[in-house]
Amino acid sequence: MAGIVIVGAGHAGVKVAASLRTMDPDAPITLLSAESQIPYHRPPLSKKSVFDAALPMELLQANGYYEKANIDLRLNTTVTSINPDVSSVTLADGQQLNYQQLVIATGTKVRRLPVPGGERAMSVYTYADIQTLGPRLQSANHIAVIGGGFIGCEIAAGALKIGKQVSLLITGPRALRKSVAPILGETVTKLHRQQGMDIRTGCQVLAITEQGVQTNQGFVQADLIISGIGAQANMQLAQAADLTTDHGILVDEFGRTSLSHIYAVGDVAEFPYGGDLLRLESIQNATDQGANVAANIIAERHHQAPKAYTPTPWFWSDQGDLKLQMAGLGNLDAEHKVLPGNTPNNLTVVHLSKGRMMAVDTLNMPANHLAARKLLEMKKPITWAMIEACDFDLKKLFKQLR
């Protein structure tokens, strides 16, 4: 009997499967993964696993879970097409799998450097990547990391911490330019430099050779080159099946794509958010949207009304000894105000738009992050005056408003 087929077994795909099983003990669930590993946590790959070969892979669910939960997990299984007319997917071995509901959770694929020798730069995306990269990183002396986003900074800081000479090559004026408030990006850049990281801003990569990286600022010698220049939605399957796409597969607030009975979830999905469209690469999104889509599939199967996905985004990044935590969706155009009480290594920045708190970035201030998350989840207007009236204590403000 046809059931629910999930393409992709990252955080989002596994969350859909596990949530479905919690809500419906009997629905047939098939979970397809192109990878050969039992589904695992990705964030630790760039934060710790790649620096320590002794660290085991962290599984999303226990090895025996899928069998026990009667979820048909198929590893090494690639989908070659989605056939909406006959409600099936075709697998690489030619087999057809029928579905009643299909979930596309194909995530992203890393961007490759479009320069001569670009293929020499290694990436950190899958467990297979770090199995190759880990030993090379241990034996390398000078590592060049290309890209000043979260992944690039995490790898550069981690490599520095295990005693490597590290150059971080960034096209923009500071690290994390697109991700956090400017003052936080500047602070992180300064703190990494103080630790001895060679950060080159305004640096364009022109070519990669066996000896290092050719840039607009000269040659950077390196015996290992790693790139972290972002990812793009992995949506060829959806495009070939004529689903509507933009930067991701377009879904409505219920996770439904342009074709009936087909959902998309996690990094690959672009969903309505605050009057705009948003594609998020985060654990929060994979987990919360996964749970939402699972509930909406159950609703569809029982002819009930779906529920909208209304997330409060949050993110984190571990960079050496720095812990960055972001609540809400920050914006470079927002007004950025720093909460008093910061020290050189601690910072809380509030993003204000039209006088209202939209996001809060913190550096090594976990209590403020959590309070900000709780405040944003209340979806009430929070102004700077309200924060000031609570002596800039976000937790106090939350407890007052709760």
Partner 1 sequence: MTQVTFTQTDGTQITVEANNNEHLMKLALENGVEGITGACGGSCMCATCHVSVDHVSGNLAGPGEMEEEILDMEIDNPLATSRLCCQIFVANDLNAIKVTVQEG
Residues that bind partner 1 (CB under 8 A): 41, 43-44, 47, 58-65, 68, 283, 287, 314, 316, 318, 325, 366-367, 370-371, 374, 395, 398
Could you tell me where the DSSP H helices lie in 180-316?
A: 182-194, 236-240, 283-301
Q: Token pair for residue 182? A: 């400017």
**How many whole angstroms separate alpha carbon 50 and alpha carbon 164?**
13
Q: How far is the CB of 44 from partner 1 (least distance, A)?
A: 6
Q: How far is the CB of 399 from partner 1 (least distance, A)?
A: 9
Instruction: Choose between 206 and 367: whose C-beta lies nearer to partner 1.
Output: 367
Instruction: Choose between 188 and 238: whose C-beta lies nearer to partner 1.
Output: 188
Instruction: Choose between 213 and 371: whose C-beta lies nearer to partner 1.
Output: 371
Run of H or E including 100: strand 96-104
Q: Which residue has the tokens 């150059």?
A: 167
Q: How far is the CB of 41 from partner 1 (least distance, A)?
A: 4
Q: How far is the CB of 356 from partner 1 (least distance, A)?
A: 22
In contact, 345 and 214? CB cutoff 8 Å: no
Structure letter (DSSP) for residue 221: E
Q: How far is the CB of 323 from partner 1 (least distance, A)?
A: 8
Residue-wise over 350-363: b if at least 16 C-beta within 10 A, else e? bbbeeeebbbbbbb
DSSP β-ladder status, 249-250 and 262-264: unpaired
Instruction: Choose between 101 and 325: whose C-beta lies nearer to partner 1.
Output: 325
Instruction: Choose between 52 and 391: whose C-beta lies nearer to partner 1.
Output: 52
**How many whole angstroms separate alpha carbon 131 and alpha carbon 50?**
8
Q: How far is the CB of 366 from partner 1 (least distance, A)?
A: 4
Instruction: Choose between 59 and 259: whose C-beta lies nearer to partner 1.
Output: 59
